[in-house]
Amino acid sequence: MTSLEDKFEESKKLGLQIVRESEEDRLMTLSVGPQHPGSGHFRFTVKVDGDYIVYCDPDPGYVHRGEEKMCEYRNVIQNIPHLERPVIHDSSNITYSYSLAIEELAGIEVPRRGQYIRALASELNRQVYTLYWLAIYGIFLGHSTMFMWPTGDRELFIDLLEVLTGARVTHAFNIPGGVRNDIPDGFKERCLRQMRYFQKRLKEYEDIFYNMPLFRQRTEGVAVLSKEDAIKLGVAGSVVRASGVPYDIRKAEPYDIYNEIDFKVQYMKTGDCFARSYVPFLDMQESCHIIEQLLDKMPQSGEVRAKLQPNPKGPPGETYRRVESGRGALGYYIVSDGTPKPQHACTALPASRPKARRHAGSVLVAQLLASGG
Amino acid sequence: MSANNDEPKKMAASSQKSTENPPTPDKLPVPAAPKPAAGAPPPKKEPEAPPFEKGLVEEIKKKFGESIKVIFVKPLRIKIQVEPRDIVEVATFLRDSMGFDHAESAGGTDYPKENQIEVIYHLGSYTREDLGAHILSLTARTSRDDARLPTLINVYKSVEYHERETFEMLGVYFEGHPRNERFLLPEDWADIPPLRKDFRIKGR
Amino acid sequence: MKRELVSPTTFNVMVSKLSDILVKALDAPLGYAINWGRIWSLWPVHLETACCSVEFGAASGPRYDVERFGIIEAFGSLRQCDLIVVQGTVTRKMAPRLRMVYDQMPEPKYVIAMGACAITGGLYIDSYNVLPGVDGIVPVDVYVPGCPPRPETLIQGTMLLQEKIKRSKIK
């Protein structure tokens, strides 16, 4: 490198004293703290060199509420409202995974209609989650229409879920053994009408956001996560599908009735920021088809819940079940010692934080939110 | 896959270990059927360890022999237990030769009665099609009083934060991990690690 | 005679009496005007603590448009904001940061505790890492119950805060 070294030597010859600028001095350490629009409740310590981020160290853990410990003091059904809260937007999926694990431990068979309704709630929730994510993504990139449109459309889905489960966000709908109640009359027509409307709407989203030249310039080719890196880092969900690995738990390890539903796994090969933001969009389109099929194939009548004893418990053992939630693989590892309270219930989420560390040097906010937050 | 429908029955039967069928020399120890107690429901049929999973376990056993203990072999789920000093070698073998290329998550469970902490890594595979649905649980047990384990961060990069969390929550020190620091608990935490069973929540 | 009228002491007395009259005349309307300005432009700090932030985001959406009340989701610095909505659970790790954020805001500032977790610890009351209520750290003006509260409840909470501000006197 000619510049610094040579100049330093020259200056010594001239008798001048130039204080050598060390590499460390150029960097400034910033704390993108827990109160920041771009980070939610996550803290990053970044070192910046001018405008470029050189080093990034994530520091999560500001919302650690001690759920794993609290699960041990509550019996299996009482745990459901607790375990919804870690991913509040996607509450039906996280309780789905928990219910599957408890059913496996205790040997409970879920009736078919209950399985269909569970899958329906899960798919609707996936749409809700992806729309919320899209809304936050849009507003932080500065596209406020992309905040208003998904939030408004999300309200329509939340209406559907409210009619189905009784609550807007915190459903507590899936319990080990099935779902709490049956779908009301007129739900099927309303839902199908909503799907027709939403599919037209998705085309509009594509026009206004994904085909926007400025968005493309900011995200295409940025923060490429290669296929090998994605596999090594163990990322899951739409991020690994955006890097070229067509892995979806609903296809790889179908749970409940997903082996009877026909859908494609959406993935892209580029692995850049644009791919990570486009794959959830494709997932949403696919989800619409899945919901239509579910409503079509649902058995017309039947029980929705297996009869449970007051304090359900199973033989000692352990299980690990996972579902594909809006964020990716979401699993539960439950150890039971034969009492109604689980001995250890551990939510298993594949890591996204090492990935954030590796990609310092790019637009932090855009790529972070594209990876699902 | 129809395996899911059979899982509850197999699970209920295989969780009770009994010594009714002594293992034959050339087969793996198959989880045996429960002893029919007087007045109990009719005995369920003896669960076969599924052949594909058995094949996987046999491959591992061929390389490592007796230092691996197989806890259970169920459809799509295998659990093996190794000694703490062997865990890096076994994990490298699993990653390179068997195709379990990433760790889904890692955690620990406290067993105060046996005075041990079990650290468990759930391994999955993205690259091998036939292993896509399988999860192999790799576990190691250490004593509660001086819990140390070698870290798997050089084998599976994704366990970095999971191991930190296990250090914080259970008190297991991972040798070789660059940052054994707390990040979930507040900085002035002065109590024992919370997920241990002798840590009682106030009022319960 | 004129000299006596406009001597320093009487001048002081006249000026102070004039200012008394001015204050009495203008206090109420000026106070009302200042309060009116404050009520209709409450800018919240973007402090999403936990799950209630979903409903806060929904409240800013087109259906429960909270911007008609002046509550813009201000993405500027927190030196320009005057409202903290503590959305959700405050853990022991987050608590000093919450206090720091509160201290950095300029006066006048108001606090809304949103959600059961911010009021009393809510669902997590026996957790080892959750504060039982946030009013031990920051002085709360309005409590909005719910888990999470519906956006309409949040809007009712802000209207209560507006009533409270209207009643406050400007010094």
Q: Provide the shortest C-alpha distance from residue C94 to chain B (in Å).
A: 8
Q: How many CB pairs under 8 A join A and B?
A: 121
Distance, CA of C107 to CA of C127 (rounded, Å): 34
Average the pLDDT over A114-135 and give the result: 90
Question: Contact, A129 vs A328, CB < 8 A?
Answer: no
Question: Would you state the structure tokens that stand for residue A175, as one six-digit string?
Answer: 């319990």
> Residue B59, Cβ neighbours under 10 Å: how many?
14
Give me the CATH number covering residue C78: 3.40.50.12280
* A19 against B138, higher pLDDT: B138
The pLDDT assigned to B45 comes to 46
Per residue in A132-190, pLDDT (tens digit) is: 888 888 877 778 888 899 999 999 999 999 999 888 888 888 888 888 888 888 899 99
Count helices and strands (H / E) in chain B: 4, 7
Say what angle helices A112-141 and A145-165 make with each other, to 10 degrees: 160
| Same domain assignment for residues C161 and C83 | yes
If you write DSSP's letter for every residue of C42-63 in order, what string do you get?
A: PPEE--B-STTHHHHHHHTSST
| Same domain assignment for residues C16 and C66 | no
Nearest CA to C54 out of C95, C115, C113 is that of C115
Q: Provide the shortest C-alpha distance from residue A80 to chain C (in Å).
A: 12
The pLDDT assigned to A12 comes to 66
Whether A358 has a pLDDT exceeding 60, the answer reads no
Q: What is the ipTM of this complex?
A: 0.81
pLDDT band at A3 (very low <50, low <70, confident <90, very high): low
CATH topology of domain B45-204: Beta Polymerase; domain 2 (3.30.460)
Instruction: Return the SS3 of B102.
Output: strand
DSSP 8-class letter at A182: P
* Domain boundaries along the sequence of chain A: 3-59, 68-370
The pLDDT assigned to A289 comes to 92
Per residue in A75-109, pLDDT (tens digit) is: 788 888 888 887 788 888 888 888 888 888 888 88
The pLDDT assigned to A20 comes to 52
Average the pLDDT over A212-232 and give the result: 82
The pLDDT assigned to A353 comes to 41
Please answer yes or no on whether B186 and C92 come within 8 Å at the CB atom: yes
Q: Provide the shortest C-alpha distance from residue B204 to chain C (in Å).
A: 8
Contact with chain B for residue A235, Cβ under 8 A:
yes
Whether B28 has a pLDDT exceeding 60, the answer reads no
The lowest-confidence range among A16-30, A66-80, A93-107, A184-198 is A16-30
Average the pLDDT over B49-56 and give the result: 76
Distance, CA of A362 to CA of A222 (rounded, Å): 7
The pLDDT assigned to A292 comes to 92
| Same domain assignment for residues C21 and C47 | no
The reported pTM is: 0.80
The pLDDT assigned to C143 comes to 92
> Residue A221, Cβ neighbours under 10 Å: how many?
13
Searching chain C, which residue's CA lies closest to the CA of residue B195?
A: C128
Average the pLDDT over A206-225 and give the result: 84
Question: Up-side HSE of residue C149: CA atoms within 13 Å toward CB?
Answer: 28
Kind of pairing between the strands at C110-114 and C142-144: parallel
Please answer yes or no on whether C93 and B186 come within 8 Å at the CB atom: yes
The pLDDT assigned to C87 comes to 85
Give me the percent of chain C exceeding a pLDDT of 70. Answer: 91
Question: Contact, B9 vs A109, CB < 8 A?
Answer: no
Please answer yes or no on whether B8 and A103 come within 8 Å at the CB atom: yes
Whether A334 has a pLDDT exceeding 70, the answer reads yes
Whether A343 has a pLDDT exceeding 70, the answer reads no
| Same domain assignment for residues C48 and C30 | no
The pLDDT assigned to A4 comes to 64
The lowest-confidence range among B44-58, B96-110, B158-172 is B44-58
Tokens 């093996």: give the residue: B80
pLDDT band at C171 (very low <50, low <70, confident <90, very high): low
Q: Which residue of B133, B183, B204 is in closest CB contact with A59?
A: B183
Kind of pairing between the strands at A174-175 and A329-336: unpaired
The pLDDT assigned to A372 comes to 36
The pLDDT assigned to A193 comes to 93
| Same domain assignment for residues C25 and C88 | no
Where residue A338 falls (left for φ over 0; alpha for ψ -120 to 50; beta otherwise) is: left
Per residue in A167-183, pLDDT (tens digit) is: 888 888 888 888 888 88
Question: Contact, A339 vs A313, CB < 8 A?
Answer: yes
**Under 8 Å CB-to-CB from A66, ≥6 apart: which residues?**
B194, B201, C124, C127, C128, C129, C130
Distance, CA of A27 to CA of A22 (rounded, Å): 9
Average the pLDDT over B82-102 and give the result: 86
What residue numbers bound the domain in which C19 lies? 2-37
Whether C94 has a pLDDT exceeding 70, the answer reads yes
Say what angle helices A273-297 and A112-141 make with each other, to 10 degrees: 150
* Domain boundaries along the sequence of chain B: 45-204
Average the pLDDT over A45-50 and give the result: 76
The pLDDT assigned to A291 comes to 92
Per residue in C119-129, pLDDT (tens digit) is: 888 888 888 88
> Residue A301, Cβ neighbours under 10 Å: how many?
7
Please answer yes or no on whether C127 and A69 come within 8 Å at the CB atom: yes
The pLDDT assigned to B30 comes to 38
pLDDT band at A69 (very low <50, low <70, confident <90, very high): confident
If you write DSSP's letter for every residue of A76-144 in order, what string do you get?
A: TTTHHHHHHGGGGGGHHHHHHHHHHHHHHHHTPPPPHHHHHHHHHHHHHHHHHHHHHHHHHHHHHHT-T
Please answer yes or no on whether B169 and A68 come within 8 Å at the CB atom: yes
* Alpha-carbon radius of gyration of chain A: 24
On average, the pLDDT of chain C sits at 84
What residues pair up with A324 in beta bridges, in sequence order?
A: A329
On average, the pLDDT of chain A sits at 78
Distance, CA of C171 to CA of C162 (rounded, Å): 18
Backbone angles phi, psi at B38, to 5 degrees: -65, 130
Contact with chain A for residue B102, Cβ under 8 A:
yes
Which chain B residues are Cβ-neighbours of A314 within 8 angstroms? Answer: 12
Contact with chain A for residue B6, Cβ under 8 A:
no
Number of structural domains found in chain C: 2
Q: Provide the shortest C-alpha distance from residue B132 to chain A (in Å).
A: 6
Which chain B residues are Cβ-neighbours of A228 within 8 angstroms? Answer: none
What residues pair up with C41 in beta bridges, in sequence order?
A: none
Name the CATH superfamily housing domain A68-370: Cytochrome-c3 Hydrogenase, chain B (1.10.645.10)
Helices (H), chain A: 3-14, 23-26, 67-71, 79-84, 91-106, 112-141, 145-165, 187-205, 213-219, 227-233, 238-242, 249-252, 273-297, 353-358, 364-370
* A326 against B58, higher pLDDT: B58
**Contacting partners of chain C (3+ CB pairs under 8 A):** A, B
Helices (H), chain C: 2-5, 8-39, 53-59, 95-104, 116-120, 151-167
Q: Provide the shortest C-alpha distance from residue A319 to chain B (in Å).
A: 9
Whether C54 has a pLDDT exceeding 50, the answer reads yes
pLDDT band at A31 (very low <50, low <70, confident <90, very high): confident
The lowest-confidence range among A63-67, A212-216, B123-127, C103-107 is A63-67
Q: Which residue of A104, A344, A346 is in closest CB contact with B11?
A: A104
Which chain B residues are Cβ-neighbours of C93 within 8 angstroms? Answer: 184-187
The pLDDT assigned to A189 comes to 92
